[in-house]
Amino acid sequence: MAQESLPGTTDRRLAGLLTLLAENATIIISGARIAKEIGVSRSTVWRWVERLRGLGVKVKGQTASGYFLMLKQRLKGSLFGKRIFHFFKTDSTNRIALELGHAGEAEGAVVLAEEQTAGRGRAGRSWHSERAAGIYATLLLRPKLAPVQAPLLTMMAGLSAHSAVQAVTGLKVDLKWPNDLLIRGKKVGGILTEMHAEPNQVRFVIVGIGLNVNQEKFPGELASVATSLHAETGKPQARMELLVRLLREFESDYNRFLREGAASVVERFESVSSYARGKRVRVTNGTESYAGTTAGLGPEGLLQVEREDGRVTAVISGDVTEAR
End-to-end CA distance of the chain: 67
State the Cα–Cα distance between residues 211 and 190, nearest whole angstrom: 7
State the Cα–Cα distance between residues 208 and 112, nearest whole angstrom: 10
State the Cα–Cα distance between residues 115 and 135, nearest whole angstrom: 9
Q: CB 34 → ligand BTN: shortest distance, Å?
A: 28
- Name which position in 48, 68, 127, 218 contacts ligand BTN (CB under 6 A): 127
Q: Is 136 in the site for ligand BTN (CB under 6 A)?
A: yes
The residues pairing with 196 across neighbouring beta strands, listed in sequence order, are 204
Binding mask 86-115 for ligand BTN (x = CB under 6 A): ------xxx---------------------
Q: CB 261 → ligand BTN: shortest distance, Å?
A: 25
Q: CB 94 → ligand BTN: shortest distance, Å?
A: 4
The answer to whether residues 230 and 204 touch, using CB atoms and an 8 Å cutoff, is: no
Q: CB 127 → ligand BTN: shortest distance, Å?
A: 4
**For residues 21 and 211, which CB has a smaller minimum distance to ligand BTN in the complex?**
211
**7 burial class (0-12, 13-18, 19+ CB within 10 angstroms)?**
exposed
- Name which position in 66, 68, 101, 120 contacts ligand BTN (CB under 6 A): 120
- Name which position in 31, 81, 108, 119 contacts ligand BTN (CB under 6 A): 119
Q: CB 223 → ligand BTN: shortest distance, Å?
A: 17
The dihedrals phi and psi of 209, each to the nearest 5 degrees, come to -120, 125
State the Cα–Cα distance between residues 48 and 46, nearest whole angstrom: 5
- Name which position in 16, 61, 121, 298 contacts ligand BTN (CB under 6 A): 121
- Name which position in 191, 202, 242, 281 contacts ligand BTN (CB under 6 A): 191
Binding mask 195-214 for ligand BTN (x = CB under 6 A): -------------xxx----
The DSSP line for 170-235 is ----EEETTTEEEETTEEEEEEEEEEEE-SSSEEEEEEEEEEE-S-S---TTHHHHB--HHHHHTS
The DSSP line for 64-84 is TT-BEE-HHHHTTTSGGGS-E
Q: Is 45 in the site for ligand BTN (CB under 6 A)?
A: no
**For residues 48 and 136, which CB has a smaller minimum distance to ligand BTN in the complex?**
136
- Rounded to 5°, angle at Cα 91 from 86 and 97: 55
Binding mask 138-177 for ligand BTN (x = CB under 6 A): x---------------------------------------
- Name which position in 24, 26, 90, 116 contacts ligand BTN (CB under 6 A): 116
Q: CB 229 → ligand BTN: shortest distance, Å?
A: 15
Element (H or E) spanning 314, and its range?
strand 312-315
**Residues binding ligand BTN: number (CB under 6 A):** 21
Q: CB 154 → ligand BTN: shortest distance, Å?
A: 9
State the Cα–Cα distance between residues 277 and 291, nearest whole angstrom: 14
Residue type at position 229: L
Residues of the shown chain interacting with ligand BTN in the complex, contacts defined by CB under 6 A: 92-94, 116, 119-122, 125, 127, 136-138, 179-180, 190-192, 208-210
